[in-house]
């Protein structure tokens, strides 16, 4: 199973797989062990950066899982709150339909998440001022305060790091993260489907990547 899709509440499994897994990839010239770090001396620079991005994504997932456990939530609830806050920042109407699409849930699953967050006092349903027939979702000030208390030090630390970068360096970081976000947001197989529809031959033969999880000792999940 790809590391990006491991369950974020399985902290030990995620850290072990990140630190001790091996990757078979023709692009790296054979088997590559992560050895507890993101990348190794035998890896190309680009792949080391990808592994660093993966490590950051894992740590973010672990922090979210810890926040969820501390406040009696499921990790999907935290993802829902993040989606709603992102929609508010972007000026998008935060409807149940938007939330379900962002989370990849059906109508029943989305309703269950919203109901749970509403019971916990983290989300309220309000009528859209411009269309009274439409119900919008809003994260409560109390939930925002909980998030700021927990994630504030991490965000502050990241901002301190960015302050040490020059404009050109920040622009490079922005371009890489924006491109990575676009790549990860592409539906699996979408590129191959587009090529098949157009009748075009792929530029290169797909290269299989196999991820082997490490053997866990007694007592490990």
Q: 139-159: per-residue pLDDT in tens?
A: 999 999 999 999 999 999 999
19 close to 36: Cβ distance less than 8 angstroms: yes
pLDDT attached to residue 132: 81
Segment among 9-13, 76-80, 204-208 with least mean pLDDT: 204-208
Segments of 93-218 assigned E as strands: 123-127, 135-139, 210-212
pLDDT at 22 over 90: no
As a whole number, mean pLDDT of residues 183-197 equals 61
Q: Which two tokens stand for residue 102?
A: 């962002």
Q: What is the distance between the alpha carbons of residues 35 and 163, in angstroms, rounded to a whole number?
A: 31
pLDDT at 4 over 90: no
pLDDT band for 43, please (50, 70, 90 cuts): confident
pLDDT attached to residue 41: 61
pLDDT at 70 over 70: yes
Percent of the chain with pLDDT over 70: 66
70 close to 56: Cβ distance less than 8 angstroms: no
pLDDT attached to residue 42: 74
Q: Which two tokens stand for residue 112?
A: 């269950």
pLDDT attached to residue 179: 95
Summary mean pLDDT of the chain: 77
Closest CA to 67 of 178, 169, 151, 192: 151
Cα torsion 158, 150, 142, 127: sign:
positive
Closest CA to 57 of 114, 18, 113: 18
List the beta bridge partners of residue 31. Answer: 24
pLDDT band for 6, please (50, 70, 90 cuts): very low
pLDDT at 27 over 50: no
Angle at 147 between CA 144 and CA 149, to 5 degrees: 110
Please, is 120 exposed, middle or buried when counting C-beta atoms within 10 Å of its C-beta (0-12, 13-18, 19+)? middle
Q: What is the distance between the alpha carbons of residues 164 and 87, in angstroms, rounded to a whole number?
A: 29
């Amino acid at each position: 199973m790809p590391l990006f899709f491991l369950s974020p509440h399985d902290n030990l499994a995620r850290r072990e797989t990140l630190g001790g897994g091996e990757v078979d990839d023709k692009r790296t010239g054979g088997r590559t062990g992560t050895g507890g770090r993101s990348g190794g001396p035998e890896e190309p620079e680009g792949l080391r950066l990808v592994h660093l991005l993966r490590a950051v994504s894992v740590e973010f997932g672990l922090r979210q899982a810890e926040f969820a456990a501390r406040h009696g939530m499921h990790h999907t609830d935290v993802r829902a709150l993040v989606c709603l806050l992102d929609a508010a920042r972007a000026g998008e109407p935060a409807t149940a339909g938007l939330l379900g699409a962002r989370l990849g849930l059906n109508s029943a699953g989305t309703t269950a998440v919203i109901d749970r967050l509403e019971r916990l006092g983290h989300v309220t349903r309000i009528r859209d001022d411009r269309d009274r027939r439409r119900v919008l979702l809003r994260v409560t000030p109390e939930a925002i305060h909980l998030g700021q208390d927990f994630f504030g030090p991490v965000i502050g630390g990241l901002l301190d790091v960015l302050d040490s970068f020059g404009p050109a360096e920040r622009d490079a970081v922005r371009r890489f993260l924006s491109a990575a976000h676009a790549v990860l947001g592409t539906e699996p197989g979408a590129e191959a489907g587009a090529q098949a529809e157009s009748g075009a031959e792929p530029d290169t033969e797909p290269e299989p990547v196999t991820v082997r999880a490490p053997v866990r000792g007694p007592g490990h999940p």
